[in-house]
Amino acid sequence: MGFFDFMTEEIAMDLGTANTLVIHNGKVVVDSPSIVARDRVTGKIIAVGKEASLMQGKTHDNIKTIRPLKDGVIADFDASEKMISLFIKSIPALKKKMFTPALRMVVCIPSGITEVEMRAVKESCERVNGKEVYLIHEPMAAAIGIGIDIMQPKGNMIVDIGGGTSEIAVLALGGIVCDKSVKIAGDVFTNDIIYYMRTQHNLFVGEGTAEKIKIQIGAAIEDLDQGPEDMLVQGRDLLTGKPKQINISYREIAKALDKSIQRIEDAVMETLSQTPPELAADIYNTGIFLAGGGSLLRGLDKRISQKTDLPVYIAEDPLRAVVRGTGMVIKDINKYRSILIK
């Protein structure tokens, strides 16, 4: 350890399509929606994270909310840079210091991101004083966070269902053997619910309401052992224009999400069919691991298990598996150097 190391702070960041999390000194210090709000007149970013997410769907002409990484690609480079920088500057221990100290960072990025976009993320981190910035792919970080020893000559399958993308990967010997990234995940589930309410109940609900429905009664199968109770949903009647309330069961939501979940299942099956036989044999024994917010959908583990005839396990605290893994990598960077993106 050199003198310089005493002044270097270590930061692990999960730059997700829906949520960004940061670990500093072994603790989660940022856990916020990946969203910024911009003033259209001045072009300035006026809010980030939770504050910006409260504005979503309620903005007027002069304010726009942006999710810079919405579909797993960087839609707005400037907004994404501001978001990264504001999140880092919001870390309590760094806020107290007069200058941002030198940072050693590991940042986890969606797999679909291009090289140009990777460079942009790296440069954004360097501009907030990132002296050493490493990038890592999401399924790899998720696997480490779940507690899998990814260096072993053994195959493991990870399915990470986030906001914008679902990432499926088979890992062995510290590398990704085969993988697939599909743009069917939490955001699509939310839109499915909006569409279902409109077409089946003539009820217009906003994104926020649909997201609440998904979390409160969302399900992947219609025959849950212990299903949640029905939910009262308010929205605008499309025929009369008046506000209206209806009762919705989890079975209806399972119907609404069925097609999208099927597409995730297809991607899992396709990845399995591309897996070399020795690794397929390992996965037969170890099963499939689910991570990401989408894995909290009731009955999704059971459904994937029925489809694949494999045991399926949900990561502990699945929304934080990736940042946990990224945090483990920064703590032991020499061990994991070979798995970082070159």
Should residue 296 be labelled a site residue for ligand ADP when binding is judged by CB under 6 A?
Answer: yes
Non-local CB neighbours of 15 within 8 Å, separated by 6+ positions: 34, 69, 84, 107, 108, 109, 110, 121
- Our CB check for Mg ion shows the closer of 218 and 294 to be 294
Should residue 211 be labelled a site residue for ligand ADP when binding is judged by CB under 6 A?
Answer: yes
Among 215, 234, 276, 316, binds ligand ADP (CB under 6 A): 215
CA distance 168 to 160: 6
CA distance 204 to 237: 6
Min. distance of Cβ 281 from Mg ion in angstroms? Answer: 29
Should residue 164 be labelled a site residue for ligand ADP when binding is judged by CB under 6 A?
Answer: yes
Binding site for Mg ion (CB under 5 A): 16, 162, 322
Should residue 130 be labelled a site residue for ligand ADP when binding is judged by CB under 6 A?
Answer: no
CA distance 228 to 211: 16
Confirm or deny that 164 is annotated as ligand binding. Answer: yes
Should residue 319 be labelled a site residue for ligand ADP when binding is judged by CB under 6 A?
Answer: yes
Should residue 112 be labelled a site residue for ligand ADP when binding is judged by CB under 6 A?
Answer: no
Non-local CB neighbours of 96 within 8 Å, separated by 6+ positions: none
- Our CB check for ligand ADP shows the closer of 154 and 303 to be 303
- Our CB check for ligand ADP shows the closer of 19 and 124 to be 19
From 5-13, 124-132, 210-218, 331-339, span contacting ligand ADP (CB under 6 A): 210-218
Q: Which residues pair with 56 in a beta bridge?
A: none
Confirm or deny that 206 is annotated as ligand binding. Answer: no
Confirm or deny that 254 is annotated as ligand binding. Answer: no
CA distance 211 to 294: 12
CA distance 247 to 63: 34
Token output for 97: 């210091």
Rounded to 10°, the helix 77-89/115-127 angle is: 40
Min. distance of Cβ 160 from Mg ion in angstroms? Answer: 6
Min. distance of Cβ 16 from Mg ion in angstroms? Answer: 4
Confirm or deny that 165 is annotated as ligand binding. Answer: yes
Confirm or deny that 17 is annotated as ligand binding. Answer: yes
Should residue 139 be labelled a site residue for ligand ADP when binding is judged by CB under 6 A?
Answer: no
221 binds, among ligand ADP, Mg ion, none (CB under 5 to 8 A by kind): none
Confirm or deny that 292 is annotated as ligand binding. Answer: no
Q: Yes or no: say if 231 and 248 are a contact pair by the CB < 8 Å rule.
A: yes
| Residue closest to 159 by CA, chosen among 307, 311, 292, 35 | 292
Min. distance of Cβ 154 from ligand ADP in angstroms? Answer: 25
35 binds, among ligand ADP, Mg ion, none (CB under 5 to 8 A by kind): none
Confirm or deny that 51 is annotated as ligand binding. Answer: no
Should residue 235 be labelled a site residue for ligand ADP when binding is judged by CB under 6 A?
Answer: no
Among 38, 214, 303, 324, binds ligand ADP (CB under 6 A): 214
Min. distance of Cβ 62 from ligand ADP in angstroms? Answer: 27
In the annotated binding site for ATP, the residues are 17-19, 163-165, 211-214, 293-296
In the annotated binding site, the residues are 17-19, 163-165, 211-214, 293-296
| Interface with ligand ADP (CB under 6 A) | 16-19, 162-164, 186-187, 211, 214-215, 218, 292-294, 296-297, 319
